[in-house]
Amino acid sequence: MATMIQTTAPAAARAAFPGVEVAGVSWPLYKLYAVGVAVVVALVSLVMFTSHEVTAWSSALALLVTWWVARFRATTQSRSAESARNPE
């Protein structure tokens, strides 16, 4: 007969990023920064090059890099703040 063993291991907590409510949903700020940068890059690229392909690639690259860098910075800041609160 099989028995079920319940574990009490805590689930991994996700980092809480500062956010803003957009249409009733909390969006992390790093996502809004990335979208804003991508829109600005798209507008500048479209005016400068008048090529939709260049605009799409450059705005996608700007969004991706901004998203990763801002999330990394937010993650490291939240970890350092958490370690400052809970010194071990």
Provide φ and ψ at 76, rounded to 5°. -70, -35
pLDDT number for residue 88? 58
What tens digit of pLDDT does each residue of 64-75 get?
999 999 988 888
- Average pLDDT of the chain is 83
pLDDT number for residue 41? 96
Domain ranges of the chain: 27-80
pLDDT number for residue 23? 87
Which residue is it, tokens 């991994």?
A: 12
> How much of the chain, in percent, has pLDDT values that exceed 70?
75
pLDDT number for residue 43? 96
What sign results for the dihedral spanned by CA atoms 15, 21, 26, 30?
negative
What tens digit of pLDDT does each residue of 73-82 get?
888 876 666 6
- Mean pLDDT value across residues 19-41: 90
Which residue is it, tokens 């804003």?
A: 36
What sign results for the dihedral spanned by CA atoms 80, 30, 70, 13?
positive
